[in-house]
Structure 1
Amino acid sequence: MTLRACGLIIFRRFNAGLASKLQEIEFLLLQTSYGRHHWTPPKGHVDPGEDDLKTAFRETEEEAGLKSKDFSVLDGYKKEIIYEVNNKPKTVIYWLAELKDYNAEIKLSDEHQAFCWLNVDEACKLAQYQEMQEALTEAHQFISTNK
């Protein structure tokens, strides 16, 4: 049986300077309070009868305290990652979502012990897993080319 989870790669933008039209993009990563304390976007297992996107919204609210009104899901980006957990394949599907309010409060669940906002290079270093690094890099590329 394949394990299945869904989540959102949440990002926010801010201007790099008053005179600059450049915008910096930061990604939200959460540090787990269990296992190897790895860093990941909010995600979780699909409940029976629940569709994938609904799972992503529910898990984002449960793990980071962000409700669907706090972000906008970008059309055209959906990333599927497959890796092994305890010798079983696991599929994780991510959508890309932009935070509407730069200063929105993050409220962690007991599943996580810390969070941070990082640019793509810092996020990739912290994420550690190649599949997650590729997803973050692709998300950054998608945001940059679809302004």
Structure 2
Amino acid sequence: MHLKITFFLLSLLSCSSGTMAKRAAGFLIFRRFNSQIEYLLMRASYGAKHWTPPKGHVDPGEDDFTTALRETREEAGYTADDLNIHKDEQKVLNYKVKGKDKTVIYWLAELKDAQKDPKLSEEHTEFRWLPKDEATSLSGYPDFTEMVAYFHDRIANL
């Protein structure tokens, strides 16, 4: 409860001051397929049509993890039951979007049924399951590359 109140107050401060970073959360989803690790990337239907894992903005009163679950359900159709979520494996990315600070927290999650394709929302036009190097190349963001490399090394110990 204390955590939800804290995030709510942070959201209010962010809206009123305009100085705090926007927050978002999601999962870096991977699957074990044909003896390799593949990562889910989805192409946005807006803006530069960038490729990212499912993620989205934290709503007022919502904690980061709840946001990650909600956004993954909304954007990819996967629920917590579809995933092995590694709550102790997380990475925080900080970057700028249109000159404004943004913080995104990702947790590592394995798709239980490697054959189950995502069900995309209107926010995305296509998806791809890709090995590490192809996923990071398609994304094109250095911080995403660092995150995937970090998680890829961690997967070996899961």
TM (norm. structure 1) is 0.91
Instruction: Provide the secondary structure at the position in 2 that maps to 1:13.
Output: strand
Within a 5 Å distance, the mapping from 1:60-75 to structure 2 comes to 60-75=72-87
Cross-structure match for 1:7: 26
Q: Equivalent residue for 1:32? A: 44
CA–CA distance in structure 2, aligned partners of residues 79 and 28 of structure 1:
16
Q: 2:153 & 2:89 partners in 1: Cα distance?
A: 11
SS at match of 1:109: coil
For residues 152 and 105 of structure 2, what CA distance do their matches in structure 1 show? 17
2:99 aligned with 1:80: no
Q: Between Structure 1 and Structure 2, which shows a larger proportion of strand residues?
A: 1
Cα distance in 1, alignment partners of residues 45 and 33 from structure 2: 29
Q: Report the secondary structure of 1:142's partner residue.
A: helix
- Three-state SS of the structure 2 residue aligned to 1:101 is coil
Counterpart for residue 117 of structure 2: 105
Q: Which residue identity is paired with 1:114?
A: E
When the two chains are superposed, the root-mean-square deviation of aligned CA atoms in Å is 1.0
**3-state SS, counterpart of residue 138 of structure 2:** helix
Structure 1 counterpart SS, 2:46: coil
> Which secondary structure state, in structure 1, belongs to the residue aligned with residue 95 of structure 2?
strand
Residue type of the partner of 2:70?
A: R
Which consecutive unaligned segments of at least 5 residues does structure 1 have? 17-23
1:106-145 mapped onto 2 (5 Å cutoff)? 106-144=118-156
Give the distance between the partners of 2:130 and 2:63, measured in 1 at CA: 29
Deviation at 1:124, TM superposition (A): 0.6
Q: Give the drift of 1:15.
A: 4.0
3-state DSSP class of the match of 1:49?
coil
Q: Deviations over 1:13-53 (max 9, x none)?
A: 0343xxxxxxx100000000111111000000001111110
1:88 CA drift (Å): 1.1
- 1:46-71 Cα shifts (integer Å, max 9, x gaps): 01111110100000000001011000
Structure 2 runs not aligned, ≥5 long: 1-19
Between the two proteins, the alignment pairs up a number of residues equal to 139
Q: How many percent of aligned residue pairs carry the same amino acid?
A: 54
Q: Which residue of 2 aligns with 1:54?
A: 66
